[in-house]
Amino acid sequence: MNKKLVLFLLLVCLLHLSLFASWSFTYDSWDGHPRIAAGLVPTGIRAGAVNDSLSLFADWKTDFYLLGKVGYQERLVWQNPVLGSSLKANPLVYDQLLFDWTLGLNQYLGSSQKHSLFVGYRGSYEKALDSMIEGTTLDSGTVQSLSSFFSGGNAVYGQLSGIGTNIGFAYHYNNLVDSYSTADGYYASALLWFGPMLLNTNASYARLEGEVRAAKTLITLTESAKNLYSIVLADRLNMSGVFGSSIPLSVQQTTSLGSKVRGFGTFQFPTDYSIANQFDLRFNGPEPFVSGFFPRLVLFFDFGFGWGELYNTSIPESGFIASTGVSVTFAVRSYMDIGYEMAYLLVGENYEHPGAKMVGKILARLSI
């Protein structure tokens, strides 16, 4: 009873503060469905409001976030539903209607405001639907209905539709100055997210993740505030571990090794632990007419290693994958770019394109 009273008073205080504080629009991310205009049309957007006028400590900035998402997207997953072993053909392909909402508090620390601590809650409702291309034969096999794929049982995936509750904590250190045509400094983060079974339809997990990013501008030539040419060296190291008896697909899509190495599928190589590195050499410019509008060419080399057990099983698995390639995009200031990426698979195979060494995809990014 006392816990409920404290929680109620805390919510009342936050509501009172929010009603009289200033709010501004914030945009987080967008997703496309690969079967709709090649994923170039947003079919899912996460956005909301941020309040940066709250200050829990004098001279230290505090941000309070309220975000929501509505999305329609595709999932393509590579585990046998009964045995849990990795699939190399005929994966689960289905569409998903998603609603999620996030409440978060980001507290900056120190006079430089480079350190910050985040605490947040994310709730979601997911509805699994048969794929819009059910019956179509892809390179990886024929797309089955959900009932057909799970006709032999479902000991691994659990319920694909239901309510999710996740609680997270994170630390960030940001000393990276990125103007998109130039970038210098470094960034580090560590996070813990967990979803207790008591509050979820299909989740019981804890996720630990750390990331370090660094960049250095090697060459830059400017004229009349326009970037004529610049070369940037950038590197990103990501490490994650997921523990639990029921790891949901919403977590797997960012922790599976395949999601961290370009050229591979999002849900491929789903092991408990993974470490991956992305190395970029970026050539930016020129901006011949308008500042902020320029082409970019990126040469990249990625590699990663996964180990432990396959998600939601006791099957041991480990493996190393690597790729190299190039992407060409066109940037519209700092908030949008679009282009194409081609990856050459040095080690490992993308089972969505069996036997292929070259894997390409359209790139699109929007940031406000």
Per-residue pLDDT of the chain (368 residues; tens, 9 = 90+): 444 444 444 444 455 445 445 778 777 778 889 999 888 888 988 888 988 877 788 788 899 989 999 999 999 999 999 999 999 999 999 999 999 999 999 999 987 889 999 999 999 999 999 999 999 999 999 999 999 999 999 999 988 998 889 999 999 999 999 888 899 999 999 999 999 877 777 788 999 999 999 999 999 988 777 778 899 999 999 999 999 989 999 999 999 999 999 999 999 999 999 999 999 999 998 877 677 788 999 999 999 999 999 999 999 999 999 999 999 998 876 667 889 999 999 999 999 999 999 999 988 776 65
Q: Distance between CA atoms of 279 and 187, rounded to whole angstroms?
A: 15
Residues 300 and 306 sit within 8 Å (Cβ to Cβ)? no
DSSP conformation class of 152 = T
Q: Helix (H, G, I), strand (E, B), or coil: what is residue 148?
A: helix
Residues 85 and 310 sit within 8 Å (Cβ to Cβ)? yes
Q: What is the bridge-based pairing of β-strands 141-142 and 183-195?
A: unpaired
* CA-based end-to-end distance of the chain: 43
Triad 66, 71, 73: Cα angle to 5°: 145
For the purposes of burial, counting CB atoms within 10 Å of the CB of 33, is it exposed (0-12), middle (13-18) or buried (19 or more)? buried
Q: Is-cis flag, bond preceding 91, omega within 30? A: no
Q: Single out the residue of 216, 208, 162 nearest to residue 186, CA to CA.
A: 216
Q: Distance between CA atoms of 134 and 254, rounded to whole angstroms?
A: 25
pTM over 0.85: yes
Residues 256 and 269 sit within 8 Å (Cβ to Cβ)? yes
Supply the pLDDT for residue 1.
Answer: 46
- Cα of 134 vs its chain's centroid, Å: 26
DSSP conformation class of 180 = S
Q: Helix (H, G, I), strand (E, B), or coil: what is residue 3?
A: helix
- Cα of 286 vs its chain's centroid, Å: 30
Supply the pLDDT for residue 10.
Answer: 47
Q: 356: Cβ–Cβ under 8 A, 6 or more apart, which residues?
A: 345, 350
Triad 197, 192, 52: Cα angle to 5°: 110
Residues 189 and 171 sit within 8 Å (Cβ to Cβ)? yes
Per-residue burial over 185-221, b = 16 or more CB atoms within 10 Å of its CB, e = otherwise: eebbbebebbbeeeebbbbbbebbbeebbbbebeebe
Residues 79 and 156 sit within 8 Å (Cβ to Cβ)? yes
How many CB atoms sit inside 10 A of residue 366's CB? 14
Q: Distance between CA atoms of 189 and 240, rounded to whole angstroms?
A: 12
Backbone torsion region of residue 58, taken as left when φ is above 0, otherwise alpha when ψ lies between -120 and 50, otherwise beta: beta
